[in-house]
A and B are shown apart, each in its own frame.
Chain A
C-alpha cells in the first residue's frame, strides 16, 4: 500500500469498473442481501413484465410507463453503483498489497544449524516451521523472531520506508510476511499458514470480501424493512380506496409511489457507508478486523492510554541537579555526568547534556579516563562507572541508599536517619510529588544529591483530552509509576483518571470494572502482557510493531504504531454512525415532498365537481407540477438521482465535531432533517420543469 492515499471519489479508475459492477450486482443472490433494494428490483421486474404485456396487447400509456420503468431500474443500478464504487476504492489498495504477496522462496531450516536449510516455496510453509531470513530476503510468512536481530523494511504494509528493528525476545519479535530484511539475519518461527497471513487478511478486509453486517447495520435494516412494510400497506390499500372513490390507479403509478416512499436513499447507500467506514480507517493506516470494531469505536466511553509514548514523550529528561547540604551543584553535576558517560539510554544522555549546558562540564571520553562502565541491571537498579578504584553510581533512591549502607567505607553521615540521608530523601520526595523521577548519585560511598528526571508531556495532548471530554470520553492514564508521580503527570496532561503501578492484571481488572458499569473501553498496546487486556477491551488497538500475541488479541491494528490515533479511530467510528443516521433521516423526510407530488397526481380526477377539470385534491399540488404524469415521473427521477448525488457524502462520511451530543444532534437534524424536507420540493419542481420542457410527459 502506498502512502499516497488520495484516491479521489471521482477517479475514473474506480468509476468505470464500478459501472460494470453495478450491472453484475443485479444478480438476485447479491440483491437479496439488501432487502430494500431487493424489493425495488422485484417491483421493477413486475412493472417490466406488465409493460411487455401491454406492448403485445397494445394499450396503456406506453411512453410514460417505459420512462417510469427505466428510472425504477436506474434506482437499483445506482444503489449497486454506490456499493461498487465503495468496494472499488478498497480493491485499488488490495491490488497494491497483492504485489507484496509475490511468490517467495523460503529457507526452511532443517536443524539447529542455521547454515543447513533447503529452499521451498513460501506457500508450502506450515505453522511451527523455522526459516532463515537473511539480508535481501522477503520474509515468506508471518512469524516470530526466535533468534537474531535484523532491520526490516515494512513499507509493503505500512507505507513507511524507514526500516524497523526486529529481534528475538521482547515486544518487537513479530515479523510480517511480504516485508523485506535489509541487514543481518533472523531465524523465524512461522505463525500463520499460507492464505491466513496478515497480508491475506488485510487484502480481504480492504476488499470487503469478508464483510458481514454489523449489529447496528442489522438493527437499521430492520427499521428500513419495517418502514418498507408500512408503505406496502399504505400503497397496497390505495387501489381499493380509488375504486370506492370511482377512480382507477395503474400498477405503474402505484409502484412509482411505493418506490419513492420506501427508504431507497439510505437502503441504497447503507452498505457503501459501511465499506467506506472501514476504508477510511485503512487510509488512516489502521486495519479494523471487523466492522463491529469500527462501530464499537464510536461508542467508546473510556480510553485507556499508556503514559509512556502516548501522553509523555517516550523518555524522561534530566532537568535539574539537586545536591544535598555540603555539596555544590557543580560537584553533583560532574559526578552525575561521569556516571552517565557510557549510559546510552535517553535519560543518561539527557544528564550528560544538562551537565554540559548548565554547568559547562564537557563530556569526557571513557577510554582516556580508563573508566569501566557498570551497566544497569534489574537487581542493582543502578548504573555508573569505576575509575581507578573510585566508583560513581546513580540509580533509584532506595537502591543507592542500600548500596551506600553496604559500602564498608560508609561514613557516619550516610547511616539511615542521618541529616544527609534525611535531606536526600526530602529532595527525592519533593521531586516525586511534582511528578518527576529522582535519581540519587553517590561517589565512593558519599551521597551527593539527586538528579531530577522529568516526564515531558507531549505538546497539544492536553487539548486532545479536552476534546475527548467534550466527546463524552473519559481518559485513564496507565503507568508503572508510583501514584504520586502518576497524579502529577495526570494533572499536567489533563487526563480524567490514572492507574498507577499498573500490572497487566490491574489493567484487565480496570477494563472489566468499566465494562461492568456498562461502558465500552478502548485501549492500545503492543506487548505480550497487553494481550489479555487487548482481547478484553471492546476496541483493542494493537501496534504493528507489537508482538504476535498482541496483534492476535486486538481487533484493530495500527500500522503506524501511533497510540494517539485512538482519538481519530473514535471519530471515524462516530462519523460512520452519524452518516447512517443522517441519511436515514434525510431519506424519510424526503417522503413528505413525494407525497405532495404524487398524491394529487394520483387522485387528480376524483370527485371532480361539475364544470371543473380537476378534482379538489389538486389543491395539494403545492409545487404546481405541470401534469399528473410529469409529477410522478419527476418524483421517481428525483428519487433515483438523489442516490447518485449522495454517494460522495456516504463515502466521505458526515464529519464528527466534538460539540456535545445535543448540539451535534440538533445540527444534523437541521441539515438532514429539515434539509430532507425542503430539498425534494426544490428538486422535484426543477425536474418537473425539465421534463415538461423536453416534452417527456
Chain B
C-alpha cells in the first residue's frame, strides 16, 4: 500500500461526502414536488405524462396499488426488452448485422436489465444491435434505476408520515426521478465522457489497418451515453465486454474518478433525502456513517491484499503487488477501490478482473454483495436494503433498552420484523441454494474456469452477484449456458422482487402508525452507538449466513496458498 494510493482513496471519499448534501437537498425538492431549476423546462412535460397515464401528482396510492403498478411496469419492460432482442435482426440500427439473441440468453439479459443487475452473459459488441443497446438496455438502465429510487422514497414516506394510508404515487415517483434526476445528470455526464474521449456514434464499426498491416475491426457506438447511466443508475452493464477496463469505456484516471463518484452519488445522497424527509438529517448521516465504515474497511482489506500480492509469485523473485487482471493505467489502488465500490453499490461495472484478485482481495467483493448490497448500495436499493437491517437491529436493541422497539417514533412490531426477515432471507435462499446445486451438477461444474476453491468462488460469485442485483462477474465462469442463463435469471428476479415487496409492505404498515415522540426512554438512532450496532447486526447476520460457503471458497484458497497450494 502506498501513501499515494490512500490519498486517491480519501480524495474519492471526500468528493462523495461533499456531494451528499447538495444532491440530497435537490432530490428532496424533486420528490416533494417543489419547484426546482428544471421545473420550467420539464414541468409541462411532466404534467403531460401524468395526463397520458391517467393520473395526477395529487393522486396517492396504497402500498398494494403502488406494488402492483411497479410490478406491471417492470413486467412490461421485461417483455419489450425480450422481444427487442429476439427480433433485432429485422429491426433498424443494426449496422453490424447482429442476429436474434437465443431465448435463454434473451431471458437472462431481460431479467438482468429489468432488475438493475446488468449481469451480462453476452459480449456487448458481438451480440447486441445499437437499437437493443439504446432502446432496450439503456431504457431499462434508466427505469430500473428510477424504480429503485421510487421504492426507497416510498419506504421513507412510511417512516416520515404518521397515521396515513398512502405511500405516494408510483408513476409520479418514476417520472420525477427519471426527468429531474437521471436524465439531466446523464446529459452532463455524457458530454463530459465524450470530451474525455469516449465514442458516441451511430456509425458502423471502424476498420483499421494496424502497423503490421493487419486488418482490425474496432467496435464503437453510442458508448458515452450508456456509460453515463450505467454508472449513475448503478446498472453496470458495459457497452463492451471488457466493461470499464476497456479504454473506450474508461479512457483515463479522470473518467475513472467521475465514474466511481457517479456510482455512489445518488445512493449516498439518498441517505440525506431520508434525513430531510423525516425531519432529522443526523439520522441520514448515521446510516451513511455505517455504510462508510464498512466501505473503508472493505477497501483497506482489499487494497492490502492486492498490494501484498501472492507469496508464491514473490518466491519466484517477482516482487510487488498483484497486477494480474488489472489495467496499468489504474494500478492496484484504483482497481481495488473500484472493485469495492462497484460491489458495495450494486453497480457491477468492473475496471479489473475480480477473479484475478488474491483470494482475500476477491472475497471482499463477494462479502459486499452477500451483505445485501447495503453499503451505499444500488440507487434506492441500498437504502431500502439497509432499512431492512435497521428494522432487525432496532428490534433487538430496542428490547435491550427496555422498550417495545421503535425507530424514528414508529413501533417495530411483528409485521415489520416478518417482512424484514423475509427480505433478508431471500438472499441466502437464492445465493446458497443455486450454488449448492450448481457445484454438484456436471453442467454447472463444466462451466468453471478453474478447479478447487477458486472454481467454487466463481459459481458462488455468480449467484451472489445475481441475487444481490450487482451484475459483475468473477471471470472464469462461462455463464452463457442454458443452466446458468435460467438459474442466474431466476436468482436476479428473486433478489429484486422478494426484497421490494416486503419493503413496500413495511412502508404500508409503518405509514399507518402514529409517530411516538422521542423521550429519554428511546435510545438515540443518530449516534455512534447506533452506527456500531447496525454494523454489528449486518456483519453478524450476513457473516453467519455465508461463513461455511466462504470457508470452502476464498478462505480455504487463501490458507492453501500459504501452504504453497494453488488451484
Interface-lining segment among B23-31, B283-291, B318-326, B543-551: B543-551
- With A240-B439, A519-B517 already in contact, the answer to whether A620 and B551 are too (CB < 8 A) is yes
Nearest CB in chain A: distance from B552 CB, A: 5
Taking a contact as CB atoms closer than 8 A, the residue among B392, B435, B548, B565 that contacts A609 in the complex is B565
Q: Is there an interface contact between B563 and A577, defined as CB atoms closer than 8 Å?
A: no
Measured between beta carbons, the chain B residues less than 8 angstroms from A219 are 395, 412-414, 417-418
- The verdict on A60 contacting chain B, using a C-beta distance below 8 Å, is no
Q: Is there an interface contact between B400 and A668, defined as CB atoms closer than 8 Å?
A: yes
- The verdict on A669 contacting chain B, using a C-beta distance below 8 Å, is yes
Nearest CB in chain B: distance from A254 CB, A: 10
Give bound CA distance, A619 to B562, whole Å: 10
- The verdict on A218 contacting chain B, using a C-beta distance below 8 Å, is yes
- With A234-B548, A240-B437, A592-B540 already in contact, the answer to whether A222 and B421 are too (CB < 8 A) is yes
Output the nearest chain A residue to B444 by Cβ-Cβ distance. A244
Taking a contact as CB atoms closer than 8 A, the residue among B400, B433, B540 that contacts A665 in the complex is B400
Measured between beta carbons, the chain B residues less than 8 angstroms from A472 are 519-522
Measured between beta carbons, the chain B residues less than 8 angstroms from A575 are 402
- The verdict on B516 contacting chain A, using a C-beta distance below 8 Å, is yes
- With A301-B519, A471-B520 already in contact, the answer to whether A595 and B544 are too (CB < 8 A) is yes
Give bound CA distance, A376 to B118, whole Å: 88
- The verdict on B87 contacting chain A, using a C-beta distance below 8 Å, is no
Measured between beta carbons, the chain B residues less than 8 angstroms from A574 are 402-403
Q: Which chain A residues in 667-687 approach chain B with CB under 8 Å? A: 668-669, 672-673
- The verdict on A110 contacting chain B, using a C-beta distance below 8 Å, is no
- With A226-B425, A240-B440, A584-B399 already in contact, the answer to whether A599 and B551 are too (CB < 8 A) is yes
Contact with A along B395-411 (1 / 0, CB 8 A): 11111111110000100
Give bound CA distance, A663 to B519, whole Å: 14
Give bound CA distance, A301 to B546, whole Å: 41
Give bound CA distance, A614 to B21, whole Å: 54
Measured between beta carbons, the chain A residues less than 8 angstroms from B202 are none
- The verdict on A664 contacting chain B, using a C-beta distance below 8 Å, is yes
Measured between beta carbons, the chain A residues less than 8 angstroms from B563 are 609, 612, 616
Measured between beta carbons, the chain A residues less than 8 angstroms from B565 are 607, 609, 616
Measured between beta carbons, the chain A residues less than 8 angstroms from B421 are 222-223, 225-227, 229
Measured between beta carbons, the chain A residues less than 8 angstroms from B545 are 230-231, 233-234
Q: Is there an interface contact between B540 and A603, defined as CB atoms closer than 8 Å?
A: no
Taking a contact as CB atoms closer than 8 A, the residue among B397, B403, B428 that contacts A230 in the complex is B428
Measured between beta carbons, the chain B residues less than 8 angstroms from A216 are 399, 404, 413
- The verdict on B473 contacting chain A, using a C-beta distance below 8 Å, is no
**Interface bracket on A:** 35 or more
Q: Which of A575, A577, A591, A656 has most B Cβ within 10 Å?
A: A577
- The verdict on B524 contacting chain A, using a C-beta distance below 8 Å, is yes
- The verdict on A372 contacting chain B, using a C-beta distance below 8 Å, is no
Q: Is there an interface contact between B417 and A234, defined as CB atoms closer than 8 Å?
A: no
Q: Which chain A residues in 598-620 approach chain B with CB under 8 Å? A: 599, 603, 606-607, 609, 612, 615-617, 619-620
Q: Which chain A residues in 329-368 approach chain B with CB under 8 Å? A: none
Measured between beta carbons, the chain B residues less than 8 angstroms from A599 are 547-548, 551
Measured between beta carbons, the chain B residues less than 8 angstroms from A474 are 519
Taking a contact as CB atoms closer than 8 A, the residue among B162, B422, B432 that contacts A233 in the complex is B432
- The verdict on A580 contacting chain B, using a C-beta distance below 8 Å, is yes
Q: Is there an interface contact between B400 and A581, defined as CB atoms closer than 8 Å?
A: yes
Q: Which of A589, A617, A661, A668 has most B Cβ within 10 Å?
A: A661
Q: Is there an interface contact between B432 and A234, defined as CB atoms closer than 8 Å?
A: yes
Q: Is there an interface contact between A242 and B552, defined as CB atoms closer than 8 Å?
A: yes
Q: Is there an interface contact between B546 and A234, defined as CB atoms closer than 8 Å?
A: yes
Q: Is there an interface contact between B424 and A226, defined as CB atoms closer than 8 Å?
A: yes
Output the nearest chain A residue to B403 by Cβ-Cβ distance. A299
- The verdict on B536 contacting chain A, using a C-beta distance below 8 Å, is yes
Interface-lining segment among B344-352, B373-381, B553-561: B553-561
Nearest CB in chain A: distance from B530 CB, A: 9
Measured between beta carbons, the chain B residues less than 8 angstroms from A243 are 439-440
Give bound CA distance, A665 to B520, whole Å: 12
- The verdict on B515 contacting chain A, using a C-beta distance below 8 Å, is yes
Q: Which of B404, B521, B541 has most A Cβ within 10 Å?
A: B521
- The verdict on B239 contacting chain A, using a C-beta distance below 8 Å, is no
Give bound CA distance, A245 to B557, whole Å: 11
Q: Is there an interface contact between A470 and B548, defined as CB atoms closer than 8 Å?
A: no
Give bound CA distance, A581 to B533, whole Å: 13
- With A519-B516, A609-B565 already in contact, the answer to whether A661 and B436 are too (CB < 8 A) is no
Measured between beta carbons, the chain B residues less than 8 angstroms from A234 are 428, 432, 544-549
Nearest CB in chain A: distance from B413 CB, A: 5
Q: Is there an interface contact between A580 and B399, defined as CB atoms closer than 8 Å?
A: yes
Nearest CB in chain A: distance from B461 CB, A: 14
Give bound CA distance, A497 to B514, whole Å: 23
Give bound CA distance, A222 to B392, whole Å: 11
Taking a contact as CB atoms closer than 8 A, the residue among A240, A516, A591 that contacts B544 in the complex is A591
Measured between beta carbons, the chain A residues less than 8 angstroms from B521 are 301, 471-473, 661
Q: Is there an interface contact between A238 and B548, defined as CB atoms closer than 8 Å?
A: yes
Taking a contact as CB atoms closer than 8 A, the residue among B395, B404, B412, B524 that contacts A662 in the complex is B524
Q: What 6 pairs across the A-B complex have the smallest Cβ distances?
A: A472-B521, A581-B399, A226-B421, A574-B402, A518-B514, A616-B559
Please name 16 pairs of A and B residues whose Cβ atoms are closer than 8 Å in the assembled complex, sorted by A.
Answer: A223-B396, A234-B549, A238-B548, A244-B440, A295-B404, A473-B519, A581-B400, A582-B400, A588-B540, A595-B547, A603-B551, A606-B552, A612-B563, A617-B551, A617-B555, A673-B536
Q: Give A contacts to B, CB under 8 Å.
A: 215-216, 218-220, 222-223, 225-227, 229-231, 233-238, 240-245, 261, 295, 298-299, 301, 469-474, 516-519, 573-575, 577-578, 580-582, 584-585, 588-589, 591-592, 595, 599, 603, 606-607, 609, 612, 615-617, 619-620, 656, 660-662, 664-666, 668-669, 672-673
Told that A222-B418, A660-B520 touch, could you supply 6 new A-B pairs with CB distance under 8 A? Answer: A215-B413, A225-B421, A517-B516, A518-B516, A609-B560, A609-B565
